[in-house]
Chain A
């Protein structure tokens, strides 16, 4: 299996490298078909900590080359009915827990543009909760082999069903764009024991300001949790024993997430010239429940264009801003409830990664990238990884090679 996958990878890669640049298919004046994809291979230096791209996947990478973690292909149909009305449909095929059509359908929306200033989108779209969340799958569009896991591995929002209203205003030579988003955002947190539906109702405001080679971005989003995703047997048990162990009521309250809110605040900036490609972002995720995440994450990426090549460096980090819950009283005979409860209330992130990579633009639609990263994973706070209960920290090397293309 390993050799067959390697051979397949090399065959497809060779075809893409030898082919002339490919183009979108214009079926008519009103219909255009496009596509994108990544053939990616990832390997780490760890046989105990499984590297994964986000908390939504169980596809973990160890010290063997893994082709499923990053590889995907997407096709998109763009339909322009009139200058004011358009529609977009996009399907993606990738390794995922949920192989249903609904999960493959990334975009299915109608856009109404009454004039150049306003646009309204209704349907399924990718909410732009931060700089990259709406286009992470588009490998060709990014400098790196993948977005920084510290910043994006935990933002479990790739698609949403709802509406987005945007207003664009020219200010001299600059552009200001304001966006309001309201949608249902399905998302799943995958653990070794279960897949947890943490879908929520998403509301947010985004402002983007473009000035010459600069882009400034700020956003605030709230997500209201729809489901009581904490183990209900555990919750019922805590409720029943609270008369005998009062702290059980506190644990219950901190895990009673249904209807609670999480807030994401993000600031981002990018600077792009003929020589430099620089991007940085900082985000804070906060909530009023101990069972939900509370952390700050960010990254800085610097790339230098040299002909068709762009070497780059990147530093990313995530830090939990709330301590794990500490019991104030002895649970005594109720330890069997206290221990799993503390598991829910002890989610911590503490990780930083340094990356060095190179992008080669082979032609107008094809880019080859290679990236080496060193992740410094804290011994207690390795939630981003699979099989993360080793109780010890590690410094892990991660190697990724991507062939990104569009057509």
Chain B
């Protein structure tokens, strides 16, 4: 019985260690952006096209990462609790009515950082593993 228990524990531990640790996702804006922090609902409203401005009323320009990427998957699941497939379908319904366009997709975290540090209207997200540029600031951390 003990041997069986040990075998089961080893199998479980192997399975757990086989999954990569889920890293945090950082939502960033330009250091000159008036927002000091944002909550999930506010960021969600921007990334789901429900609202288009920061708290000070200035237009927000959200940026996305590649459609099949792991960071994008983590971002939307942590932010909205919904799968990337649902988010993609959601945006398809809205985009093709002409009423809103989804966040523009960039190829990498680095590109997102480059855009955000140059544009006070930009908002993006990057993996917490990336080194942040001094010209951006984190307004929301998604664990």
Q: B-contacting residues of A (Cβ < 8 Å)?
A: 21, 23-24, 26, 32, 34, 36, 74, 76, 78, 80, 83, 86, 88, 90, 107, 109, 111, 113, 115-116, 119, 121, 125-126, 128, 134-135, 137-138, 140-143, 166, 168, 170, 172-173, 175, 177, 210, 213, 272-274, 277, 305, 308, 361, 363-365, 367, 406
Stretch at the interface among B9-17, B28-36, B76-84: B76-84
B68 at the binding interface (Cβ < 8 Å)? yes
| Residue from the list A21, A173, A272 in contact with B41, Cβ < 8 A | A173
B105 at the binding interface (Cβ < 8 Å)? yes
Interface size class of B (residues with CB under 8 A): 35 or more
In the complex the two chains form, is A173's CB within 8 Å of B96's CB?
A: no
In the complex the two chains form, is A121's CB within 8 Å of B68's CB?
A: no
Q: A-contacting residues of B (Cβ < 8 Å)?
A: 39, 41-42, 45, 50-53, 57, 59-61, 67-68, 77, 81-86, 88-90, 92-99, 101, 104-105, 121
In the complex the two chains form, is B51's CB within 8 Å of A168's CB?
A: yes
CB-CB under 8 A from B41, the residues of chain A are: 172-173
| Residue from the list B61, B92, B98 in contact with A36, Cβ < 8 A | B92
- Of chain A, the residue at the smallest CB distance from B59 is A83
In the bound complex, CA of A87 to CA of B42 (Å): 26
In the complex the two chains form, is B88's CB within 8 Å of A364's CB?
A: yes
In the complex the two chains form, is A142's CB within 8 Å of B93's CB?
A: yes
In the complex the two chains form, is B84's CB within 8 Å of A36's CB?
A: no
In the complex the two chains form, is A175's CB within 8 Å of B51's CB?
A: yes
In the complex the two chains form, is A274's CB within 8 Å of B82's CB?
A: yes
CB distance from B139 to the nearest CB of A (A): 16
- Of chain B, the residue at the smallest CB distance from A125 is B98
**What are 5 inter-chain pairs, A to B, with CB distance below 8 A?**
A83-B121, A116-B53, A141-B90, A166-B99, A175-B45
Total inter-chain residue pairs, C-beta < 8 Å? 112
- Of chain A, the residue at the smallest CB distance from B92 is A141
- Of chain B, the residue at the smallest CB distance from A131 is B93
* Beyond A142-B93, A175-B45, A406-B88, 6 additional pairs, beta carbon < 8 A: A36-B96, A78-B95, A135-B93, A277-B86, A305-B86, A364-B85
In the bound complex, CA of A308 to CA of B98 (Å): 28
CB distance from A185 to the nearest CB of B (A): 15
CB-CB under 8 A from B61, the residues of chain A are: 83
In the complex the two chains form, is B92's CB within 8 Å of A140's CB?
A: yes
In the complex the two chains form, is B68's CB within 8 Å of A135's CB?
A: no
CB distance from A148 to the nearest CB of B (A): 16
CB-CB under 8 A from B92, the residues of chain A are: 36, 135, 138, 140-141, 406
In the complex the two chains form, is A21's CB within 8 Å of B93's CB?
A: no
CB distance from A79 to the nearest CB of B (A): 10
In the bound complex, CA of A78 to CA of B80 (Å): 26
CB distance from A402 to the nearest CB of B (A): 13
CB-CB under 8 A from B95, the residues of chain A are: 34, 76, 78
CB-CB under 8 A from A175, the residues of chain B are: 45, 50-51
In the complex the two chains form, is B97's CB within 8 Å of A125's CB?
A: yes
CB distance from A132 to the nearest CB of B (A): 9
In the complex the two chains form, is A141's CB within 8 Å of B51's CB?
A: no
CB-CB under 8 A from A141, the residues of chain B are: 89-90, 92-93, 96
| Residue from the list A23, A36, A126, A277 in contact with B67, Cβ < 8 A | A23
CB-CB under 8 A from A210, the residues of chain B are: 50
CB-CB under 8 A from A168, the residues of chain B are: 50-51
Top 4 nearest A-B pairs (CB, nearest first) are A116-B53, A141-B93, A173-B41, A88-B98
In the bound complex, CA of A363 to CA of B96 (Å): 19
| Residue from the list A109, A137, A166 in contact with B98, Cβ < 8 A | A109
CB-CB under 8 A from A32, the residues of chain B are: 101, 104
In the bound complex, CA of A109 to CA of B57 (Å): 25
CB-CB under 8 A from B42, the residues of chain A are: 173
**Residue in B68, B81, B98 with the greatest tally of chain A CB atoms within 10 Å:** B98
CB-CB under 8 A from B59, the residues of chain A are: 83, 116
In the complex the two chains form, is B82's CB within 8 Å of A273's CB?
A: yes
In the complex the two chains form, is B104's CB within 8 Å of A137's CB?
A: no
CB distance from B22 to the nearest CB of A (A): 15
CB-CB under 8 A from B121, the residues of chain A are: 83
In the bound complex, CA of A74 to CA of B94 (Å): 14
CB-CB under 8 A from B105, the residues of chain A are: 23-24
| Residue from the list B67, B82, B90, B97 in contact with A365, Cβ < 8 A | B67
In the complex the two chains form, is A274's CB within 8 Å of B101's CB?
A: no
In the complex the two chains form, is A364's CB within 8 Å of B84's CB?
A: yes
In the complex the two chains form, is B98's CB within 8 Å of A90's CB?
A: yes
Q: A305 and B53 in contact (CB under 8 A), knowing A90-B96, A126-B97?
A: no
In the bound complex, CA of A374 to CA of B118 (Å): 57
In the complex the two chains form, is A134's CB within 8 Å of B83's CB?
A: no
CB-CB under 8 A from A125, the residues of chain B are: 97-98
| Residue from the list A23, A86, A135 in contact with B97, Cβ < 8 A | A135
In the complex the two chains form, is B52's CB within 8 Å of A113's CB?
A: yes
In the bound complex, CA of A277 to CA of B57 (Å): 33
CB distance from B49 to the nearest CB of A (A): 10
In the complex the two chains form, is B99's CB within 8 Å of A121's CB?
A: yes
